[in-house]
A and B are shown apart, each in its own frame.
Chain A
Amino acid sequence: MEVGMTRPIRLLIVDDEQRLVETLSKRLTARGLYVEGVHSGPEALAVIQARPFDVALLDVRMPGMDGIAVLREAKKLQPLLQVIMLSGNASINAAVEGMRLGALEYLLKPANLDDVLAKIEEAFKKKRLEEEHLASQRQAGG
């Protein structure tokens, strides 16, 4: 049932804080992930429309389009994309809204890199399981 890591996890980081995106990208790339970073909601959606990702780390508070709006649209574009919200805003309401829209986690900054990596790996596992499920369903249908 469980799946190991057989190819690099494709991760998208969305945060208006440029330094955070850079640091995280560098450190997670060093851990063997394929990482792309963008700094706004619209940019994120453009990238998500263009190519598949496994996991997105999504900032909640961004100027213009906020993370919740991005989550809503992203799930329409790639329903299997696993979204981990990463926020400085400790609001239960925001967290619940994120979960309602299908986010996997609502992590609060500052998050420990190992924790974030563990969540990403867990998210990837979950995505693989959901993919397997879809495959078996298709098999059933066809």
Chain B
Amino acid sequence: MRRLLRRLLRIDRWKPLEARPDATAALHLKYLTFRDLSTSNDEILEVIAEIERRLEGGPTFGMAFVRSSAVTAASHAYRMIQKLDALSNRRYPELSARFSEIQQAVESILDRGPMREGGPYVVPLAKVTVGDLDHVGGKSANLGELRNRAGLPVPEGFAVTTGACIDFFAANQLQGEIRALLQGLDVQDLESVSATAAAIREAIVAAALPPALEDAILAGYARLAGSVGSEPRVALRSSALGEDGELSFAGQYLSLLNVPADEIVAAYKEVVAGLYTPRAIAYRAIRGIPDEDVPMGVACLVMVDAVASGVACSVDPNRPELPRMVINGSWGLGIGTVEGGVSPDAWTVAKDGGYTILTRSAGSKETSVEALARGGVAAVPVPPERRPSLCLTDPQVAELAGLVLAAESHFGAPQEVEWALDRAGRLVLLQTRPVHTSSGRGEREAAPAEVEGHPRLLTGVSAAAGCASGPVFLSSGPEDIAGFPDGAVLVARKSNPQYVRVMDRAAAIVADIGAATGHMASLAREFGLPAVLDTHAATATLAAGAVITVDGDRGAIYAGRVESLLAGASERRPAGMSGTPVHAVLAEVAKFVVTLNLTDPKSSEFTAASCRTFHDIARFAHEKAFEEMFRVSDRVSYGELRSLPLRARLPFRVHIIDLGGGLRRRPGAASLRPEDVSSVPMRALLAGMTNPELRWWQPKPLSVGGVASVTTQAIFTPFVEYGERRLGDRSYAIVAESYCNFSSRIGYHFAAVDCFCGDSPSRNYISFRFKGGAADEARRVNRCVLLERILRELDFQVERQGDLVNARIRKYDLDATLARLDQLGRLIVATRQLDMRMGQRASVDWYVRAFMEGNYLFDPEFGREGGDRDRERNGPDSC
């Protein structure tokens, strides 16, 4: 016994640090490893916070975000395992096995490509119905249905299946290349989207079709030629999965018209490459559709040599409640009408059984698109004498109306149909899809000439309902929208579906030329954007930057911001990602990344084997790393290096480990007093945490009347019981003379301070991190909003993602840095006691002020006569 005592005394005898460099070095190495592990823990928490934010309706995202989040979380979880292995001498081998399982689960979600179900590459249209949707894509399926089940006239042709596209990509390893190119893409950066889209299309067009596919397409064409008795020119039209269904993809993909026999294979590749036009990429990004989910089918149809063509809607898209339909048309091939480049003829037809024509108006129809003898098409001027005449006769309008209504009744829903009139006077349907209608606001009166001092600047065709205001952005074409600001009104010369690229940011759309039945109008309705088209003079009348109000309900544009119109306007559909396929994929990935199952270190479930997510692994590894740190220090046990509990008036226990110069030794002492701490930053932090004004040991002031106190009760309730009674809820500090790393955790709640401070300001920094807390999402976030505000008051640079707060200051001189540490110490203790309830955001101001005034109990009576102290015992029992 005596010998033991002597030995202890000998060990405890004070020795300068240099005398034990081996021990210091070993500990130092452990510390570096621990530090790496901590850094990775921070990274994972950041990824988790960002995923939570996006799932709850933060910024839009695509698969690239999902992938990069998964990869970042996985790589740092892996690194934490590596570092914990190093710290613990591989004490938890089970962790690696768990990691592999989680990795596999996540990869299987991410690598879910399109299913290739076998089947032929080519199917004659005569054999296609909507049941083949998954194999042939939307357009072919709808056309086959029209032809074979509804008995309506459509061109002869065949469908190239989506499976053909999948095999084409697979044979050339295109999917990986495309994925890599898209991963590096910021969808908001319109220029780089264009460049990337071009690179992807180039790669697709340059790739060779598998011989079996090429043979199948050529054989399909030979059969078609046999059945029509000539070698017809054909139209190759996109027929992507999802196209022409619930999501319109209106005009997002490619059609190639008047293709000669020897160019079919090249044209096929070009249409498939149309998956990656900038507008299609943007459309999918905004709509949350993973690129992998849209293999492209292609419809190959006998070219209709059209005299006139256009679009017809079986309802008025803006007044779906009225019993009438709308027909647009112009000379030549239909591209002009659907792409919006031509002012078309327009009819409204009563759905009264007799196809009564309610209105007719002749469009200006300056150009028409015509087939060229050598293949392809070109826009040519329409002879002036032909422009004013309507492109359909009344009987043709009635016949077309009959076809459109037949399509509507067959599909049982309003349809938007592309039609053509051939040289023999026959009407054929080129495609059909469900109409996107605006939800109208009931009866609409004519637009008034002026609303309370806001002159009406223009009128036009109401193409999408709603009312919005914003500054004018003038565009002569979709190529000049690079600088489009959020919330602006797009004012375009011609309507064009490529404008989809700004539809998530625009307030409304106005165009000189364009029809309510065009693709852009359809997209505007899909995005809930008010649109007024065919104004003739918008680009000439409206000045760039001028604020206007667009009344999409009545087709009018007013100067300034017309509050009376905006007040009644239907809420714009939020562009949130909820309900989209990409959102669903992220939610699925989150189950293996974000979910935290290991919450209680004392639970028997807190084991490596129980880790089911990357978050679990991080939580487990972080906890065990602390244990290892303190295990090593216990083992080393050279007086100045031992971990010792701190005896101080704190709402949690702190154990301190010294890396050198951070603690003053008191021989034989089993615990530390605050004055034993010689680490300069730790002293400052402790001074803050033990500030007598904190009085965390006192009961909370309870309401004794007064409005403010009621508010307090509603917003704050005491936080969980104090850590002293909760074993395992230790806080740790690793200190050196000029350094401290303090971290504490209770349940979900995690706070950490890392600081270096010395005489050279350039090296000084404080970094503070706070995450979570046991409360519902809204309360956690609110508490973090409060923290964020207070930290800013203290001159920290703060980033907050949901309930994760990151704050740092750098390069302040010693005194300024220490002053911030002191405040930080107070903040950590003061906020530990608080659990912020959902409340008015405005009241955060009050709490910020209270903290800055030193009212750490957030007592509404603070500073008043008679003060809070009188009521300290006024608990519910004594009332």
Chain A residues engaging chain B, CB cutoff 8 angstroms: 1-6, 61, 88-93, 95-96, 98-100, 105-106, 108-110, 122, 126, 129-130, 132-133, 136-137, 139-140
Contacts and interface: CB of A to CB of B under 8 A. Distances in A.
Q: Is the interface of B mostly helix, strand, loop or mixed?
A: helix
B107 interface: yes
Nearest to A20: B184
A108 B68 CA distance: 6
Nearest to B757: A2
7 contacts: A4-B762, A4-B763, A92-B103, A106-B72, A108-B68, A137-B25, A139-B21
A96 B71 CA distance: 9
B760 A133 contact: no
Contact of A92 (B21, B107, B181): B107
Given A1-B31, A105-B75, 14 more contacts: A1-B738, A4-B764, A88-B180, A92-B74, A92-B103, A92-B107, A95-B72, A96-B103, A100-B82, A106-B71, A108-B68, A108-B71, A133-B29, A136-B21
A109 B67 CA distance: 11
Interface stretch (B32-40, B209-217, B282-290, B429-437): B32-40
Contact of B25 (A2, A91, A133): A133
A95 B74 contact: yes
Contacts of A1: 31, 659, 736, 738-739, 756
B331 interface: no
Contacts of A93: 107
B75 A88 contact: no
B11 interface: no
Contacts, number: 98
Contacts of A122: 39
Interface centre among B71, B78, B754, by most chain A C-beta atoms within 10 angstroms, is B71
Contacts of A61: 180
B22 A100 contact: no
B24 interface: yes
B71 A95 contact: yes
Contact of A129 (B35, B179, B184): B35
Given A92-B74, A122-B39, A2 B765 contact: yes
B194 to A, nearest CB: 15
B59 to A, nearest CB: 14
Contact of B78 (A6, A100, A133): A100
Contacts of A140: 21-22, 25
Contacts of A100: 78, 82
B763 A133 contact: no
Contacts of B67: 90, 108
A54 B132 CA distance: 59
A130 B39 CA distance: 15
Interface in B95-145: 103, 106-107, 110
Contact of A99 (B39, B75, B185, B738): B75
A24 B92 CA distance: 41
Contacts of A132: 28
Contact of B32 (A3, A88, A109, A130): A130
B82 A108 contact: no
Interface centre among A90, A99, A110, A136, by most chain B C-beta atoms within 10 angstroms, is A90
B56 interface: no
B32 A106 contact: no
B766 to A, nearest CB: 11
A105 B73 CA distance: 11
A17 B35 CA distance: 33
B785 interface: no
A99 B183 contact: no
Given A90-B68, A90-B183, A108-B68, A96 B24 contact: no
Contacts of B181: 88
Q: Shortest 8 CB-CB distances between A and B: which pairs?
A: A4-B763, A90-B67, A2-B756, A95-B75, A109-B184, A1-B739, A140-B21, A108-B68
A130 B180 CA distance: 35
Interface in B724-769: 736, 738-739, 754, 756, 760, 762-765
B191 interface: no
Given A88-B184, A90-B67, A90-B68, A96 B763 contact: no
A8 to B, nearest CB: 13
B75 A92 contact: yes
B638 to A, nearest CB: 14
B78 A99 contact: yes
